[in-house]
Structure 1
Amino acid sequence: MTPWPDGRRRQLRRGGFATAEAARSEREQFGATGGRELADATVTVGQWLRLWLATLVHLRGSTLCSYRTSVENYLIPCLGGDLVRELTADRIQAMVADLIRDGGASGHPLRPGTLRHVHSTLRAALNAAVRRGLLPTNPAWHVHVPTGRRPHAVVWTAPRIAQWQTTGQRPPVAVWTVEQTRAFLEHIHDHPLYPLFHLIALFGLRRGEAAGLRWCDIDLDQGLLTVSQQIRQYGSRIEIGKPKSEASNRVIGLDSVTIALLRQYRENTAGDVGPGSEEFMFTTRSGDLLTPQHLTHLFRALNDESDLPPIRLHDLRHGAGSLSLAAGNDLKTVQAMLGHSSIVLTADTYVSVLPDLACRAAEATIHHVLSAAKATSARLRSTPAAAA
């Protein structure tokens, strides 16, 4: 039992551990303070962080796992022995500098995104400490953390491929051209999970969404695919839950080629599956659920076999937005297909301009400019002054 600001005592309950041993270890780590009232003057940051984690029963398992990673790998090694009541913005700023320089205890400098997440985890934990009465204000609010820039997807053009082959360096986020995407799909056409990768490459499904598809989510007569759930994985635990956001609950229109492909796939693998079947469309060879991690490893192996430049499985989703735009669809259509809540996110993050689209835009621009110049020249030649 542990006290709360209102004076009542509530029992802490935590789940989501991969093994019983992991659960026992977590309990022992904060057990010294979790079973009695905290002595505010002697609570360390490490004690508070573990007790705070134990109260987060309302979060998704993946979010909690991410918080725990920040706490165990960075915050406790850097600040765990400090007293909560003595924590200052300068002390936290020094931790940030250490993480930027050499990663703290990890020994590897952190990427801006990871650093921001570590800071936001500490900020949330100290907000709870303020509510608990351990701190008057949250010192993490006054700490500067470099924002960095979100990496934009670039296209695997011939010069980039040559540089990668020479130096081994690759862009953080890269997508294939239309020809490269076609070559990959042709390469894996006989693979049992070809239809799954077809859906990701052309319609931008997230890996968990594709793994979570059931036959009841597909209306082949109307040509509609409904995204209503996903498979999530953290550690060895697998969970079937709602899509990432409200906008991710979406209906996608299918083309005739994809409809024919899925009909054939159903005939070959699922047999006589009727409408409304809860059976999963895609499973392992043994009939088990596909996990996001399994799909990531499988895609990496297929990518290596194809001799195409490397991309991540999630980059197929980036590429789907780019291909849809290149095909002439507008941003709003692409946003709805990808399940984004904001069209700004679609334009800023996922839609990369493919080379052929960029060249067509350049040709259109120069044609417009030269046509205007010719019209102006003709007008000047036809004036009386020009005639004189």
Structure 2
Amino acid sequence: MSQLESVFQRCGCRDATTRRQLNEKCPGLTEPEHGSWYFTAYVPTMTGGRTRVRRGGYGSRGAAEQARLELLAMPENRAAGQTLTLQRWLGQWLTTIEGQIRPTTMRSYREHVHNYLIPAIGHIELANLRACHVQAAFLNIGTRRTTSGRLLAASTQNRIRATLRSALSEAVRQDFISLNPASRIRLPKPYKVHPVLWTAAREAEWRATGVRPAVAVWTRQQLVAFLKTIRNDPHFALWWLVALTGLRRGEVAALRWTDIDLHDATLTVKEQIVVVDGQDVVGPPKSASSCRTIALDATTLRLLRNEWRLHHRVLRETGRNPDGYLFVNAKGQPLRPDYLTRRLGKLIANADLPPVRLHDLRHGAASLALAAGVDLKVVQHLLGDSSIITTADIYTTVLSEASRNAAEATASFILDAARTRLSLGGASQA
């Protein structure tokens, strides 16, 4: 039969001289078990046109004809899903969501799609993608290493899977496929790295070997030593604010004077600055709960008034900083988040203190607030965490003083009861 017909038979035999495939011209096709049956059909595309689809490997003409009829009977979108590779669908999906999500999330989606998903399974047709394909892909992805030589973290694998699941959920919603194969695979559970305190023992180990905890926060005494050392830094108010309130680096960089109410002693977080492809982008905070109003203490208010008097008023009079950012450089431009990270590292090194990241100051602010007896719900609001469980799970692990006091209080409670009972018992026997 001609390949132009809707159902035809062919095989993989080759001509003995030319080594070309004989396809439908093979004389062996007259034998019942030789070759396979194929069909062609024209189906809609996702752009509204039509394209030719060919399927093969069927054991009989009847099976090929039945498969063709089933394809033609599909709804338009489901039929269009037969013409798409996963690579094409992921590209279309990224185009569709552009501008609808946060820039940092979009950047992560692109990295996941182009660095991991397309190389692994982009060639598979969307309609033929199965959970076994996705599972095999992630077994391979899990063997890849980062630039530091470490295996890809379980948390990263789960984020990549979340990207694929989101893209395929949209394909299900648009009826290109019926099930989401990314939701049916197993991945390693992410390992939570909890912050620990820079105790004297940990500091001594770090100074001797250079080995440090993945996430560590300063003690109250270490924080005080840092603040004393940087007292004359031009942006002392910024470091003080982060250390006390736990603002994220993008949040503190995006603060404007209109976000500060010196009369009511409050600070409102409305925006953040994030770095995307080397560019600073102003956008909404990390989550809805990150939009928050924070009460300010008297010392912080005094520092902010000094900031206004010494810096902002001069900048305003010279026409710099027209957008009214709270913390700016000499040119009146907002401080970049990556600059804050580098600057903090230099200040810590000069102070000869154990290293912490800028985000670790956030951990420290929460831990100190909890150690000072601040209610957990208040600390959650201070940080802008979406869940109080997150606040409790992460930050209470570093409260060595509070934990020690709690342990002593619990032990005393039991011992006091035991002593009372023993003394009563002794009196009754006398």
Partner Cα distance (1:106, 1:266) in 2? 43
Partner Cα distance (2:161, 2:120) in 1? 12
Structure 1 residue aligned with 2:373: 328
Structure 1 residue aligned with 2:95: 54
Structure 1 residue aligned with 2:274: 232
Structure 1 residue aligned with 2:84: 43
Structure 2 residue aligned with 1:368: 413
**Equivalent residues of 1:213, 1:282 under 8 A apart:** yes
1:67 matched to 2:109: yes
- Deviates further, 151-160 or 39-48: 39-48
CA displacement 1:109-145 (0-9 Å, x = unmatched): 2111111111111111222333445433221121111
Structure 2 residue aligned with 1:22: none
1:88-99 paired onto structure 2 within 5 Å: 88-99=130-141
Partner Cα distance (1:236, 1:104) in 2? 20
Per the TM alignment, residue 155 of structure 1 is displaced from its structure 2 partner at its CA by 0.8
Structure 2 residue aligned with 1:280: 325
Determine which structure has more spread, i.e. the larger CA radius of gyration.
2
Structure 2 residue aligned with 1:164: 206
**Equivalent residues of 2:45, 2:83 under 8 A apart:** no
**Equivalent residues of 1:74, 1:105 under 8 A apart:** no
Structure 1 residue aligned with 2:118: 76
C-alpha change, 1:250 and 1:142, in structure 2 (3 Å) is: same
Structure 2 residue aligned with 1:33: none
Partner Cα distance (2:171, 2:263) in 1? 56
* SS at structure 2 position matched to 1:62: helix
CA displacement 1:246-299 (0-9 Å, x = unmatched): 22222211111111111122211112779xx95111012222122222212222
Residue type of the partner of 2:360? D
Partner Cα distance (2:147, 2:240) in 1? 42
Structure 2 residue aligned with 1:259: 301
Residue type of the partner of 1:190? N
Per the TM alignment, residue 306 of structure 1 is displaced from its structure 2 partner at its CA by 2.2
Per the TM alignment, residue 162 of structure 1 is displaced from its structure 2 partner at its CA by 2.6
Percent identity, aligned pairs only, is: 43
1:116 matched to 2:158: yes
* SS at structure 1 position matched to 2:212: coil
**Equivalent residues of 1:319, 1:352 under 8 A apart:** no
Q: Which structure would you say has the larger RCO, counting Cα contacts within 8 Å and 6 or more residues apart?
A: 1
* SS at structure 2 position matched to 1:290: coil
C-alpha change, 1:99 and 1:149, in structure 2 (3 Å) is: same
- Deviates further, 315-324 or 152-161: 152-161
Partner Cα distance (2:146, 2:219) in 1? 40
Structure 2 residue aligned with 1:173: 215
Per the TM alignment, residue 106 of structure 1 is displaced from its structure 2 partner at its CA by 11
CA displacement 1:8-43 (0-9 Å, x = unmatched): 9xxxxxxxxxxxxxxxxxxxxxxxxxxxxx975453
Structure 1 residue aligned with 2:129: 87
Structure 2 residue aligned with 1:304: 349
CA displacement 1:182-232 (0-9 Å, x = unmatched): 111122221111111111111111111111111122222322212222222
RMSD over aligned CA atoms reads 2.7
- What TM-score, normalized by structure 2, do the two folds share? 0.75
1:148 matched to 2:155: no
Residue type of the partner of 2:218? W
Structure 2 residue aligned with 1:12: none
Structure 2 residue aligned with 1:342: 387
**Equivalent residues of 1:227, 1:248 under 8 A apart:** yes
C-alpha change, 1:351 and 1:266, in structure 2 (3 Å) is: farther
Residue type of the partner of 2:95? A
List alignment gaps of at least 5 residues for structure 1.
9-37
> Which runs of 4 or more aligned residues in structure 1 lie more than 6 Å from their structure 2 counterparts after TM superposition?
104-107
Residue type of the partner of 1:308? L
Residue type of the partner of 2:90? L
**Equivalent residues of 2:102, 2:283 under 8 A apart:** no
Q: How many residues align?
A: 352
Residue type of the partner of 2:85? T
Residue type of the partner of 1:186? K
Structure 1 residue aligned with 2:71: none
Partner Cα distance (1:87, 1:104) in 2? 27
**Equivalent residues of 2:81, 2:177 under 8 A apart:** no
Per the TM alignment, residue 101 of structure 1 is displaced from its structure 2 partner at its CA by 2.3
**Equivalent residues of 1:214, 1:279 under 8 A apart:** yes
Structure 1 residue aligned with 2:250: 208
Partner Cα distance (1:257, 1:357) in 2? 25
Per the TM alignment, residue 347 of structure 1 is displaced from its structure 2 partner at its CA by 0.4
- What TM-score, normalized by structure 1, do the two folds share? 0.83
- Deviates further, 131-140 or 296-305: 131-140
* SS at structure 2 position matched to 1:239: strand
* SS at structure 2 position matched to 1:252: strand
**Equivalent residues of 1:331, 1:347 under 8 A apart:** yes
Residue type of the partner of 2:390? L
Residue type of the partner of 2:359? H
Per the TM alignment, residue 147 of structure 1 is displaced from its structure 2 partner at its CA by 1.9
